[in-house]
Amino acid sequence: MAVTGAVAPILLAAASWVNVALYTLELVLCAHYFARPSRPLINKIGIGLMVLADTVCTLAICFEVGLAIVPAQENFPFIIALAIQIIATYISAVIMQLNFCHLFYVLTGNKVVCGALMFLIFTHLGFSWASGILLLKLPKLGPGSGVAFTVNTVGAVACAATDLVVAICLGYKFFRIMQVTIPGLGTRSLAKRILILSVGSGAICATNTLTMLILLLEGSFVFHFLATIQGRVYTLSLLANFLLILPGQPRSVTTPSQSFGFSGLVFQPTTVPQISRSSSGRNASKLTTERPQFPASISSLPSIDHHDGALHLDDLGLGSFRGGVASK
């Protein structure tokens, strides 16, 4: 949907400012991520593709601002820039959604839900790219034409459904995992858990996409503002999952042992007391059998620091996982 009228230059300028600010933050976080050693190659490639897509999208947005400030006789350049923006934005969307879908599969091994997510991902990608290609092939139709608007709407609905399902699935799984830690009663602990669920599950992306969908169906010009920054929101969400580390709460000695505890964006195993040399062989054997173990798919990852038992979400990325997870 194109922005027209006297509000177009102001809205596009404001959207471009916010977009450039998020893009700058994205570059800083990306540089920090690439500076970390021993990161999976395929994850670096994915982040690199997202940054490349966001770079193209940012240049297209700046070009749109120039066209809005200095109106041309033809609408053709603006339509081409809008089509490029649509295609580039959904490249970032698909890469983030595939990473989150894979993370959910590693944590649960649920092939049915992951299969449904994969179907939604490639469905919205097909419709979204179709709308962009349609604008490139037939720019005279314009984004407000019946065909282009319908295809774009179907793609937006499928994308919003995908983000929502991913956020619900990961949010529920993260909430269940965090229950193995001692629940905090303070506001700070509650805020920390909300931050974990919002960033880790992709709830921020889902909120942005759902808001865009509502504005698109209502025909509001604010839709273009959110659509301008959508790609940056996807990239920042994935980078936050790879970089954000929050300290965990210590477990009580009397707390029953679990397979592993989830704290912040780090998996933390429970603490096992040391066995004295004077202990009997029977007690030592019993205590060894009660030692919490990581799942086989997680403990086999090469990038785990076994000294402190910490495991970043990045270690569960596409490039780190070699082998399936047994279905529960």
Q: What is the 3-state secondary structure (H, E, C) of 251-296?
A: CCCCCCCCCCEEECCEEECCCCCCCCCCCCHHHHHHHHHCCCCCCH
Query: Of 30-39, 81-90, 109-118, 286-295, which range is least confident?
Result: 286-295
Predicted pLDDT of residue 23: 95
pLDDT at 251 over 50: no
Question: pTM for the complete prediction?
Answer: 0.71
* Confidence label for 18 from pLDDT (cuts 50, 70 and 90): very high
Calculate mean pLDDT across residues 285-312. 42
> Do the Cβ atoms of 242 and 43 come closer than 8 Å?
yes
pLDDT of 48 above 50: yes
Task: Look up tokens 């969307």; give the residue.
Answer: 93
Indicate the pLDDT class of residue 22, thresholds 50, 70 and 90.
very high
Pairwise CA distance, residues 178 & 201, whole Å: 13
State the average pLDDT over residues 307-315: 44
Mean pLDDT rounded to a whole number for the chain:
72
303 band by pLDDT with thresholds 50, 70 and 90:
very low
Query: Per-residue confidence at 240, pLDDT binned at 50, 70, 90?
Result: confident
Residue 301: phi, psi to the nearest 5? -70, 135
d(CA 74, CA 153): 25
In this prediction, residue 106 carries a pLDDT of: 87
Distance CA 89, CA 103 (A): 22
188/141 Cα distance (integer angstroms): 52
pLDDT of 153 reads 83
User: At 304, is the pLDDT very low, low, confident or very high (cuts 50, 70, 90)?
Assistant: very low
What structural domains and CATH numbers belong to the chain? 8-243 (1.20.1070), 261-316 (no CATH)
Question: Most confidently modeled of 201-210, 240-249, 272-281?
Answer: 201-210
pLDDT tens digits, residue range 170-212?
888 877 776 665 455 454 565 666 666 666 667 888 888 888 8
